[in-house]
Structure formats: C-alpha cells, structure tokens
C-alpha cells in the first residue's frame, strides 16, 4: 500500500479530494469491516489503521486487537488498552465490544476524513473548531493555575464551566455560551469542595447537570 496511512495521506493533501473520492474510500473501509463482521470478527482498533494505495483503494489493517465473537460481544479484562477517541460508551463503562462498537469507530473515521481546513484544530488531536473572535470571548475570568494536565473547563451547547482561582479552592464558574464579554468579578461560583477542583464534566444527557472532582477526594 504505497501511500501509507489513510488519515495522514488525506491531511497532507487537504482540499484536493472530491466528495466522490472520499465516499469511495469510506466505502472501501465499510466493505472491509463488513467482511470481518460476516466472518464473526470484530476489529476493536479501526481508528487510523487503514492503508491506501496509488489507486486510492483503501484496505483495513492492523488486526492485533481483533477478536472472534462467540456470543455477539467480547468483554475485555479491566485495564485493557483500547482506542479512546474511537470507542463508544459501552466500552468505557463495561469493556464490552461488538460489531456495533466497530460501527461507532467507523463513524468517527468518516468524520475525520471529512475534516475541512476551514476549521482550525486545537493542540488536542480530537478537538476541532473555528477560532473565536475577541467579541465572542470571555474577559476577566480568573482561570486556575492548579489544574495542571487535567481540564480547566468543560462546555456543552448551553454553558461553559471554568475552574477558577479561589481562596481555599473548590470553586468553578458556570457561564452561558450566549452571553460573552467581560465577566462580573462577583459572578456566583459553584462551591462544593474544600480543596482545588481537578476536573469538571457535563452530563451528556442533561445540559443542566455537571459533575466535579477535587483534591479533597470527593465528587459532586
């Protein structure tokens, strides 16, 4: 497969592929995955593991994590490695793989292939978006410097939560994504911890529900 990794090949030639070419390559991957499913196998690591030749024919590769299905699903042992950005919720929660989890991975692969240079990517590989203008940003938010490698903020379609500097720690701001600009220094904070907040996450099924964890070993 002369052109190597599919996603690298597409990214190196952004904008040079027609919609028909991209759909054809997606079809090649889907046919390869269909062949695996018809023979009772799941791939579990589709991700970027596809190779492309000079004729733009794509082949699924890297079957190191592939497994034979006996009861329509495969349950991996706790702590096993898996491609995080391409895995569905049942893999995170129960370590259960099936042909449906391969379909999820294929959907993520299609989304990556449809990436357009009009959108700027962040330093994190799985995050894409338009660069925000000053008019659409927030000003005066005292973002914490204690979070280190964890998440300073979390956003959903309605709100953005930002871990802030606060005497004694344990607080974060919740701001509407529709009301940008300067933030009032007296804007109410969400408090529920006695130590620094380490991470915040929105409920994916409820835009008004958020969880936070802290150095005080509690989750709220």
Task: Confirm whether 45 is a catalytic residue.
Answer: yes
Domain membership of residue 122 (yes or no) is: no
Is the same domain home to 97 and 146? no
Instruction: Measure CA of the first residue to CA of the last residue in the chain; give whole Å.
Output: 51
Domain membership of residue 120 (yes or no) is: no
Across-strand partners of 181? 138
Is 0.75 topped by the overall pTM? no
How confident is the model at residue 77, as a pLDDT?
74
**CA atoms within a 13 Å half-sphere pointing along the CA-CB vector of 107:** 8
- Annotated catalytic residue: which of 28, 45, 207, 216? 45
**Scanning the structure block, which residue is given the tokens 């969400």?**
190
Going by C-beta distance under 8 Å and a sequence separation of 6 or more, which residues neighbour residue 63?
A: 43
Is the same domain home to 10 and 103? yes
What is the Cα–Cα distance from 44 to 105, expressed in whole angstroms? Answer: 8
Domain membership of residue 32 (yes or no) is: yes
Structural domain range at position 145: 132-214
Is the same domain home to 104 and 193? no
Cβ–Cβ contacts within 10 Å for residue 35, how many? 11
Could you say which of 113, 145, 178 is where a domain stops? 113
- Residue 44: CATH number of its domain: 1.10.510.10
Could you say which of 52, 82, 113 is where a domain stops? 113
Is the same domain home to 208 and 137? yes
How confident is the model at residue 31, as a pLDDT?
92
Is the same domain home to 108 and 60? yes
Is the same domain home to 106 and 137? no
Domain membership of residue 121 (yes or no) is: no
Is the same domain home to 76 and 138? no
* Domain total in the chain: 2
How confident is the model at residue 96, as a pLDDT?
83
Could you say which of 54, 86, 113 is where a domain stops? 113
92-151 pLDDT per residue, tens: 778 888 888 888 888 888 887 776 544 444 555 455 555 566 677 778 777 766 555 455
Q: Two tokens at 189?
A: 């904070």
Q: Quick one: angle between helices 19-38 and 99-113, nearest 10?
A: 170
The per-residue pLDDT string of the chain (220 residues; one tens digit each, 9 = 90 and over) reads: 788 888 788 878 877 888 888 889 889 999 999 998 888 888 888 876 789 998 889 999 888 888 888 777 788 776 677 777 778 888 877 888 888 888 888 888 888 777 654 444 455 545 555 556 667 777 877 776 655 545 578 888 899 888 876 555 678 888 888 888 888 888 888 887 888 787 888 888 888 999 888 888 887 7
Domain membership of residue 125 (yes or no) is: no
């Amino acid at each position: 497969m002369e052109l190597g990794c599919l996603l690298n090949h597409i990214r190196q030639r952004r904008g040079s592929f027609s919609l028909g070419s991209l759909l054809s390559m997606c079809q090649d991957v889907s046919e390869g995955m269909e062949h695996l499913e018809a023979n009772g196998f799941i791939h579990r690591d589709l991700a970027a593991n596809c190779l492309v030749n000079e004729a733009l024919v794509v082949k699924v590769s890297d079957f190191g994590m592939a497994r034979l299905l006996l009861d329509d699903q495969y349950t991996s042992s706790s702590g096993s490695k898996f491609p995080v950005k391409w895995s569905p919720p049942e893999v995170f929660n129960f370590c259960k793989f099936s042909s449906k989890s391969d379909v999820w991975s294929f959907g993520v692969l299609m989304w990556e292939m449809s990436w357009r240079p009009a959108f700027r990517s962040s330093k994190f590989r799985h995050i894409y978006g338009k660069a925000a203008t000053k008019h659409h940003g927030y000003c005066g938010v005292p973002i914490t410097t204690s979070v280190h490698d964890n998440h300073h903020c979390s956003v959903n379609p309605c709100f953005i939560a930002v871990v802030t500097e606060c005497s004694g720690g344990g607080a974060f701001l919740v701001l509407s994504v529709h009301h940008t600009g300067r933030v009032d220094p007296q804007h109410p904070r969400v408090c529920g911890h006695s130590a620094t907040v380490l991470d915040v996450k929105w409920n994916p099924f409820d835009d008004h529900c958020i969880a936070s964890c802290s150095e005080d070993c509690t989750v709220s």
